[in-house]
Amino acid sequence: MKELDANIEGHLAWAHEHNPAALVLLERVLGEAAGHVRQRRVERRIELCGLRVRKTLEAFDWAFQKNLNRSLVESLATLKFLDNRDDLLITGKSGTGKSHILQSLALRACEREIRVCYTRCVDLIDDLYAGLADQTYERRIRRWARAEWLVIDDVGLGQLRRRDDEPTAAHMLFNLLDSRHEQAPTALTSNIKLGDWGKYLGDATLAAAILDRLAMTSICIDIDGPSYRDYLAKRRAKDHGVDTTT
């Protein structure tokens, strides 16, 4: 009802000027109200999904990453790969735009009212370890597993904690991804070589099993290019008269 009241004077003024048929006026009023309701739902999706910033592909500097397949990334923006339950794996050095692309796609998915769960890998593992500590591990892993689209950013960034009496990060990540395998799509980014996942996650065998599953179902993008953050830092330094050539 609030949506109908919000712009009633504007609608009446429009009706007075254009003298539409009653059905046309009703469609205009109800259509605008429905649009407001949908926008609130989208905002709620974004608030709950875990994104800390709102990145867009329109703001991505394509000219800077000359080796990146722009047409492939823009095709991903249609989100058809989610309908096909394809996974997504984006790799590359730090600062090459992996997270920007993934967060942009996550935002688009929220705008399509897909239930997205976004998290950094280190935060996901910390959450699951907290579940081991307070006996809520099964509930927590089910919550992550239920996401329509699970987005795990920055595999390889941040230190993963573990005690000797606890399972490895690889064990927990494998269980989570295995429960979603070919059932619901998952996306990951990583700034370390895939061969180093075993060392980072604490178990080379299970890391290999994770990558084996991803190889079956993933669209893979490797961004072989310079760091945009380094470029911005050097540009700011130059603007302040600092010599960065040495």
Q: pLDDT tens digits for 76-121? A: 999 999 999 999 999 999 999 999 999 999 999 999 999 999 999 9
pLDDT at residue 25, as a whole number? 60
Quick one: 11 and 90 in the same domain? no
Token pair, residue 136, equals: 């809520």
Instruction: Kindly state whether residue 245 falls inside one of the protein's structural domains.
Output: no
Distance of alpha carbon 64 from alpha carbon 174, whole angstroms: 35
Quick one: 107 and 224 in the same domain? yes
The DSSP result for 193-210, as a single string, is: -GGGHHHHHT-HHHHHHH
Instruction: Kindly state whether residue 157 falls inside one of the protein's structural domains.
Output: yes
Quick one: 11 and 81 in the same domain? no
Instruction: Kindly state whether residue 243 falls inside one of the protein's structural domains.
Output: no
Task: With a cut of 80, say whether residue 44 has pLDDT above it.
Answer: yes
Q: Write out pLDDT tens, residues 138-183.
A: 999 999 999 999 999 999 999 998 777 899 999 999 999 999 999 9
Quick one: 108 and 24 in the same domain? no
Distance of alpha carbon 210 from alpha carbon 204, whole angstroms: 10
**pTM for this structure?**
0.82
**Helices (H), ranges, the chain:** 2-6, 8-18, 22-49, 70-76, 80-83, 98-111, 121-134, 137-145, 169-180, 197-201, 204-217, 228-239
pLDDT at residue 208, as a whole number? 97
pLDDT at residue 100, as a whole number? 97
Average pLDDT in the chain: 89
Quick one: 8 and 65 in the same domain? no
**Confidence bin at 57 (pLDDT 50/70/90):** very high
Q: Tell me, what amino acid is at 155? A: V
CATH number at residue 189: 3.40.50.300
Q: What is the mean pLDDT of residues 121-127?
A: 96
Instruction: Kindly state whether residue 246 falls inside one of the protein's structural domains.
Output: no
Nearest alpha carbon to residue 151 among 193, 104, 195, 198: 104
**Confidence bin at 51 (pLDDT 50/70/90):** very high
Q: What is the mean pLDDT of residues 183-198?
A: 97
Task: With a cut of 60, say whether residue 10 has pLDDT above it.
Answer: yes
Total number of domains in the chain: 2
Q: Tell me, what amino acid is at 86? A: D
pLDDT at residue 181, as a whole number? 93
Instruction: Kindly state whether residue 240 falls inside one of the protein's structural domains.
Output: no
Quick one: 204 and 227 in the same domain? yes
With beta carbons less than 8 A apart as the criterion, state whether 88 and 219 touch: yes
Its domain, for residue 222, covers 50-231
Look at the alpha carbons of 31, 77, 121, 96 in this order and tell me if their dihedral is positive or negative: negative
Distance of alpha carbon 170 from alpha carbon 13, whole angstroms: 63
Quick one: 122 and 218 in the same domain? yes
Count of C-beta atoms within a 10 Å radius of residue 169: 26
Quick one: 201 and 128 in the same domain? yes
Quick one: 6 and 66 in the same domain? no
With beta carbons less than 8 A apart as the criterion, state whether 221 and 90 touch: yes
Task: With a cut of 70, say whether residue 229 has pLDDT above it.
Answer: yes
Residue 155 has φ and ψ, to the nearest 5°, of -65, 120
The residues pairing with 1 across neighbouring beta strands, listed in sequence order, are none
Task: With a cut of 90, say whether residue 59 has pLDDT above it.
Answer: yes
Token pair, residue 204, equals: 């080379």
CA atoms within 13 A on the CB side of 234: 10
Instruction: Kindly state whether residue 218 falls inside one of the protein's structural domains.
Output: yes
Quick one: 86 and 171 in the same domain? yes
Quick one: 120 and 143 in the same domain? yes
Instruction: Kindly state whether residue 244 falls inside one of the protein's structural domains.
Output: no
Distance of alpha carbon 109 from alpha carbon 217, whole angstroms: 19
Quick one: 204 and 113 in the same domain? yes
Task: With a cut of 90, say whether residue 15 has pLDDT above it.
Answer: no
Instruction: Kindly state whether residue 138 falls inside one of the protein's structural domains.
Output: yes
Among residues of the chain, what percentage have pLDDT more than 90?
71
